[in-house]
Chains A and B, each alone.
Chain A
């Protein structure tokens, strides 16, 4: 049996890689991938704790909800990135700095 803390260490590392990608990448798609890393780390935590909740299965149900919501978020944000590219001709988050036309 793998101890619970090893799952948590792995997900902590993955979360920090995600934070790095979100903070320092110059490409909106890489930022999106960083967010996906952070979501996956959270899902791994849910699943690892859900092992000790057999009859309610709350951890796994929440992991399923998180996966579904992440998929919806990816669909919408890819559409937004495409629109931003059509408007600004770049997807560098540091160069998209106008809210009005």
Chain B
């Protein structure tokens, strides 16, 4: 039962990601991107990372997507139009290098994954007590780690977010005089 739901989520992620890159309509592909991110959160839950899944929903689905949609629907609608009127062919010639490179990458990654034999890695096979169980409280461990071992990166990230906020607000101003 558990694995069936996992593979359903995986199929939703991959098929909606493929549809995102295959659709010509930009608004439609942004909404499909929404579905991809939601089902990615489902996959995170199956990796027993519930806090990361909630963060994914709050930040990506609630923040990034709303930003993407509103930034373009509110500013100017011409930006959403396809720059080139679509030609009749589904896959044009100019897509072939991209397809070739991504298939090559896919082959290399799959080959190296099978060579690495990840299910029998030493530290994973010997993790024993260190493996997460579904009943564990992951937020507890994340909180402890974030406040002890990763305290400096945490503070740096907060300052970085402030910088990105100010920079984005500055760049998106309307007036042209500087």
Contacts and interface: CB of A to CB of B under 8 A. Distances in A.
A27 B82 contact: yes
Contacts of B56: 43, 67
Interface of chain B, helix or strand or loop or mixed?
Answer: helix
A21 B53 CA distance: 24
A97 to B, nearest CB: 14
Contacts of B13: 10, 14
B52 interface: yes
Contacts of A63: 44, 49, 52
Contact of A67 (B33, B52, B75, B130): B52
Contacts of B6: 2, 6
Contacts of A51: 47-49, 131-132
A67 B48 CA distance: 17
Given A8-B118, A25-B21, A76-B171, 16 more contacts: A14-B13, A16-B102, A16-B105, A16-B109, A17-B20, A24-B95, A27-B26, A36-B60, A44-B40, A47-B52, A54-B130, A56-B145, A60-B138, A65-B157, A72-B164, A85-B76
- Interface size band for B: 35 or more
B145 A61 contact: yes
A21 B105 contact: no
Contacts of A91: 79, 83
Given A56-B149, A75-B67, A29 B26 contact: yes
Contacts of A79: 167-169, 171-172
Nearest to A26: B83
A33 B35 CA distance: 13
Given A16-B103, A51-B49, A70-B64, A78 B21 contact: no
B161 interface: yes
A81 B80 CA distance: 12
Nearest to B103: A16
